[in-house]
Chain A
């Protein structure tokens, strides 16, 4: 079946540094990918929609200059958390819709810890 991967699976960084998270669709092309953030014991909250070849669309309250999204190819979207702070520590999950199956497939998530 369709698979979405994320890299890294977990990252620890110092406050003030930037962290890049990659999301790849392994066996299908995705013109649109989605980025979610999930705090402990809470649901997934959509942060932004990543569009191949154009600007990302951000949800209300999500700072586009802090969470940079680049969808450079049909199989890769990246999320860069700039100047990370401890409150950015969270589980970041991406998803993509497999056009053949019609289902949304989620990546395994990236655990970000900012010290």
Chain B
């Protein structure tokens, strides 16, 4: 559950560097995982997803890694740009037609120019 009163952790990176954002998920039965980006005052935007039968998936400038053994998910952003500054959430989805997304706590990515 959420911890009321705690601020989201922040990752600060230099523009042009690679960013790695980590997430621990809770349900070992979850078979689908998504990373979302949320800019201030906006709804979450889909970045990339991965199913549990994979351990790596690449998109444009982003890569998601899944380690089911330790229930860990990471998002790698190559050549981080100022426009990447946002809050990033991982979400897990257990199997089943009526399953619901569960969001992680989120991490704020701050890109230094």
Contacts and interface: CB of A to CB of B under 8 A. Distances in A.
Interface of A: 4, 6, 34, 39, 41-46, 49, 91, 93, 95, 103-109, 111
Contacts of A105: 46
Nearest to A4: B43
B100 A109 contact: no
Given A43-B2, A44-B44, A44-B89, A104 B34 contact: yes
Contacts, number: 52
Nearest to B45: A106
Interface of B: 2, 4, 6-8, 34, 36, 41-46, 49, 89, 98, 100-106
A43 B43 contact: no
Contact of B42 (A39, A42, A95, A108): A108
B103 A44 contact: yes
SS of B interface (majority): loop
A26 to B, nearest CB: 14
Main secondary structure of the interface of A (DSSP, over half): strand
Contact of B101 (A4, A42, A104, A111): A104
B7 A41 contact: yes
Contacts of B6: 41
B2 A42 contact: yes
Nearest to B104: A43
18 contacts: A41-B8, A42-B8, A43-B103, A43-B104, A44-B44, A44-B103, A45-B103, A46-B100, A93-B43, A95-B101, A103-B34, A103-B46, A104-B101, A106-B43, A107-B43, A109-B41, A109-B42, A111-B41
Nearest to A44: B103
Contacts of A49: 98, 100
B86 to A, nearest CB: 13
